[in-house]
Each structure stands twice: as C-alpha cells, then as structure tokens.
Amino acid sequence: MRFSQTLIPTMKETPSEAEVISHQLMLRAGFIRKLAAGIYTWLPMGLRVLRKVERIVRNEMDRAGARELLMPGVQPADLWQESGRWEHYGRELLRFKDRHDHDFCLAPTHEEVITDLVRHEIRSYRDMPLNLYQIQTKFRDEIRPRFGVMRAREFLMKDAYSFDVDEETSATSYRTMYAAYKAVFDRLGLRYSVVEADSGAIGGSFSHEFMVLAETGEDDIASCGSCDFAANVEKAPVAPRQGQAPAPVAQVTEVATPGAHTVEQVAAFLKVAPADIAKTMIYLADGQPVAAMVRGDREVNEVKLKNMTGAAELVLASPAAIVETTGGPVGFSGPLGLNMPVYADQELAFSAALVVGANKKDTHLTGLHITRDLPQARQADLRNAALGDPCPRCGGEISFARGIEVGHVFRLGTKYSDALGATYLDAEGQAKPIVMGCYGIGVSRIVAAAIEQGHDENGIIFPLAIAPVTVAVLPMAVDGEVWETAKRLHDELWEAGVDALLDDRDLRPGVKFKDSDLMGTPLKLVVGKKGLAEGKVEFKLRNGGQVEMLPLAEAVEHVRRLAREGGAQFI
C-alpha cells in the first residue's frame, strides 16, 4: 500500500469546527470528511480502523454463538405502527414517503424488523435459543449531532437480538452477551467500565452499559469506592434520607422578587441558600402537563421522572405551554394551585420552609412545607445523584466519572413479541410469546472513543489491534538502493501477513515521521543510506521506546513477531 495512492489528506492545522480531540485528530489524520451535519465519509485509513474494530466485534459475536444476518436500512411504517413506535419514537426517526405515497423510515434500530422475521420463522421451542446479529448502518436524526462520529446521525452499529423460550434462558443469553462484550472491549485495549443502566419499563438490573472512560464522555457514571456499585447517573438511585423530617416553621407568604427568576437570582435576592429553594419544572408527559420539584441545588432526573409518570415521551414544556398550564411566566412556576400531577423529590420533605414560584410574574412564596402544603404531591426519588450522596447499596462514598457509551445490553422481555405477535409452540403445543434481548455496540463510535483514550501531542496512539496499518515503511529517499530496499521490505511484510504502508512521497523525512505519528501507526521501519551501508534498518515504536538498528534480514520477522504478539490484525 503506497501513501501517494491511498488518499490520506493529513492536515497540520486543527480544524476549528472540531471540539474534541478525537474529532480533531480524525480530521487531521485524514480518516473522515464531513458531508452534512452528523454524516461522514470514511476515507481509506479511517475505514481500515473501522473494519478492524468490526472484525473483533464480529469474531466475538460468532464465538459467543450469535449468527450474522443483514437487515434493510429502509423500513416500512406499518411495522412501526404495530409496535407503537411510529407514534412514540419522536423526531430521531427520519420518515419519508415512496412514490406510492407509502410511509417509510430510515432504520434507527431493528427490533421491529427482527421481530417480524422471527414471528414468521421461529415455530417451536426447538428453534431456540437463537441469537442473530448484524453490523449495519443506522440513521438517527439526533437533535445535536456533534463530536464527529461520536454522536453522528448516520453511524455503524452492531446489533444482536436473542430469542428464548422463557425469562430464565433469556437471562443466560444475556450473560453470554455480557461476557462477549467484555471480550470485545478487552481485545480493543480500551479502559472501560460496566454500569447499570436504565431499563425503562422492564425494571431490575437487566440493562448494562459499557462505558469507555474519558473526560469528553456525554454520560455521567456514579460508582462506589467500597462496593461494586456502578451506574449511569440516569439510573443511579438516591437513598432516602434517614431521620425525622422537620415540622413546618412558617406560613406560606407571597413575596415580590422583581427580575429574579433563576435559582441563583432568587437565592441572592431573598438571602437564602439554593438548597432552601425548590425548583418547579413543567414537563409534558405524552402531551399532558406534569410538575416536577427538586431542591434548587439539584437536577431533575428526567429518566426517573419519565418512568414514574409511565409516559412514552417526556419533554420540557415550552414557555408558551408553561404560561398556558400554570398561568405564570417561565421562571416563576410553583406547585400551589396547579391543575396537574405534582411529583416532589423525596429530599424536599427535609426542608422546614421552602421558597417556590408563585405562578405569577416577579413573585415567589416562602415558608412552604411539602408535606403540609402539598399532601397530594407524589414524593419519590426524582433527582440525579450528587457528590456527597451515600452509595445506595452499601452507604459508602460515591464518586463520579464521565464515560462514552460504546455498548448496551438489554433484556426486552416480551415487549416486541407481544406487540407483533411473535409466538412459538412449547412442548405441550401451547403458543407462548418469545422472550427477547437486544445488544448494541457503537462500532463507529468506538473509533472515536479509542482516540479519546489514546493520543499525545503528535497525534493518535492506536493499539496494534485497530491501527489503520501495523507498520510504516519510511524510505529516506525515493530512488536508488534506499527506495528499492524499502519497496522490498514493504512487499515482504505483506507476504508475511503484516499490513504496511510505504511512504513513497518525495518529501522531507520529518514530514513522513509526523504523518505516521499523526495516524497512530504503531511501528516504523526507517530505511536510510547510512544504515544500509551497515546492512541495517532503523526500527521505532510509536509509543516511546528506543530506536533499534535491525539487520536487514531480520527486520520483517521482527515486525511480524511483534505484530502477532500484540494482537495486530491483517486486512
């Protein structure tokens, strides 16, 4: 493979549109180019990384007994109507019509299509357990595509689906996938953590996310220093406070708070702490208004709130909807006199006198006592876990980290088989619903996540397993013996099963070194006149280490051995 014929448009400057290092480096190394927001072309070197990731994923899925198929990226609306998700999926689902005026969508996921397949093909208990997977392009019209391929609109996912006769065997399928995922991320050489995730309507610890630990991750992870509790903050429970809740100490009193609508402004104006204020947020749960209250220094956990309301869709109410449903402007919502369900975080019962909005411009109420004044409010765990909270499992100290979600394993139960009527006949000839699980891996996101974890000031540092090429052959001249030797080494490496990139450009050595480092190529063979005079070539590692002079005759074998020991792939 020759550099000059591969299209590797490296860049010196950091592109201004890229916020995170992986996005910057993927552009600079010539791996990807943007076509439209969240939609990218994978250039030859980027694609090689993607293919290597894909190969490890495929290999571990096959080893775990899953079988590969390939489903369409365009799906008819009727299936989505059957599952109810045509209504509920929201605007991430890109919909369109064909020439016959039939509705279609671009696949954001494949539960409907796979369930449709198995309802026709799985007949009896003898056809299970079955696990089918694909590695396929998904489209989600993300509200905020960003960070390059990390949160794209078009991206590559591995999605697997398991089919079992009952919950017990389904749990076994789940455990098999869980173990296969660990094998995948171990082989990829990533630092990751497995956390409990929200499992929506199903409940229980039936959903885990695999998180690559990185500062730029969009997910917050709470984990305990004393036990093995680790959860996505979306789901991490907050333990109820111990002890006696205080009695009321004041009457509810209206006060003027001109111009103060944020928690900070109200706190400063009334000279109270943010913790003495209760924020009231108005949401639309499947279109119906609900109010959620948390302390001023806390965040509403929308996943917990959504689960509590049982709604399929939960969105913050627009300013207009707030005026319409509360009678007051944004920033002054409060719980008294509202004609909607009110959910109050359990912690609010431990405040003797709270400040809340009065549903009236420039006005708040003081002295509110949740249990006295809002007996109809549902008190529950509604907020995000925060620093200082005890571990919900052992009472230990929890700490927070950020992660990039690269995989998700999930038990679906009979949600889709019930909706689409996917049944099998048991040993007694009785029709029963198929019990399902689904398992996703963000194949293209992994490329970005690996770069977030592996880089330095010179560029990307890839593990051997997923580097675009294993070794760069860098001739210090493109003529004479130096060039002929480099060419020969390159050819011999390919014959030995090592993918090598021959930098055939007539450029200064410094440029070749820089580009090789930028792309994250783990090994270098440098062919120069001086070395050749002694029958030697220079060998270097991307990630530190001394320069070694290798006898020419041993160079290929040396690289081949290192590549094999380091789990390099040959594509």
Q: Give the position of tokens 């907050």.
A: 238
Residue 438 C-beta: closest distance to ligand ATP, Å: 8
Tell me, residue by residue from 112 to 151, as one string, x for binding to ligand ATP by CB under 6 A and - for no binding. Answer: ----------------------------x-x--------x
Q: Which is nearer to ligand ATP, 155 or 332 (CB)?
A: 155
Applying CB under 6 A, which of residues 42, 155, 181, 332 lies at the interface with ligand ATP? Answer: 155
User: Residue 442 interacts with ligand ATP (CB under 6 A)?
Assistant: yes
Residue 93 C-beta: closest distance to ligand ATP, Å: 12
Applying CB under 6 A, which of residues 440, 468, 475, 522 lies at the interface with ligand ATP? Answer: 440
User: Residue 459 interacts with ligand ATP (CB under 6 A)?
Assistant: no
Q: Which is nearer to ligand ATP, 344 or 406 (CB)?
A: 406
**Cα-based distances in Å from 139 to 43, 108, 155, 512, 532:** 19, 5, 7, 37, 53
Residue 493, Cβ density class (10 Å: 0-12 exposed, 13-18 middle, ≥19 buried): buried
Q: Give the position of tokens 């689960």.
A: 307
Determine the interface stretch with ligand ATP among 3-11, 436-444, 473-481, 546-554 (rule: CB under 6 A).
436-444
Which two structure tokens, joined as six digits, stand for 298? 């806390």
Applying CB under 6 A, which of residues 54, 198, 345, 405 lies at the interface with ligand ATP? Answer: 405
In 64-166, alpha helices (H) = 77-83, 85-88, 111-121
Q: Which is nearer to ligand ATP, 141 or 345 (CB)?
A: 141
Residue 410 C-beta: closest distance to ligand ATP, Å: 7
Q: Which is nearer to ligand ATP, 407 or 522 (CB)?
A: 407
Contacts of 377 (CB under 8 A, 6+ apart): 293, 335, 342, 343, 344, 370
Give the whole-angstrom CA distance, residue 255 versus residue 124.
69
Strands 500-502 and 471-475: parallel
User: Residue 184 interacts with ligand ATP (CB under 6 A)?
Assistant: no
Applying CB under 6 A, which of residues 128, 152, 358, 434 lies at the interface with ligand ATP? Answer: 152
In 236-391, alpha helices (H) = 263-270, 302-309, 319-326, 370-373
Contacts of 522 (CB under 8 A, 6+ apart): 462, 463, 464, 467, 470, 471, 541, 542, 543, 566, 568
Determine the interface stretch with ligand ATP among 12-20, 50-58, 117-125, 406-414 (rule: CB under 6 A).
406-414
Q: Which is nearer to ligand ATP, 136 or 414 (CB)?
A: 136
Applying CB under 6 A, which of residues 23, 187, 364, 408 lies at the interface with ligand ATP? Answer: 408
Which two structure tokens, joined as six digits, stand for 559? 């690289």
Residue 185 C-beta: closest distance to ligand ATP, Å: 12
With CB under 6 A, what is the number of residues at the site for ligand ATP?
15
Radius of gyration (Cα) for the chain, nearest Å? 29
Determine the interface stretch with ligand ATP among 335-343, 354-362, 373-381, 404-412 (rule: CB under 6 A).
404-412
Vertex 65: Cα angle to 59 and 71 (nearest 5): 75
Strand partners, 107: none
Q: Which residue is nearest to ligand ATP (CB)?
A: 442
Give the footprint of ligand ATP on residues 10-69 (CB under 6 A).
Answer: none
Where along the sequence are the contacts to ligand ATP (CB under 6 A)? 109, 140, 142, 151-152, 155, 157, 405-408, 440, 442, 444-445
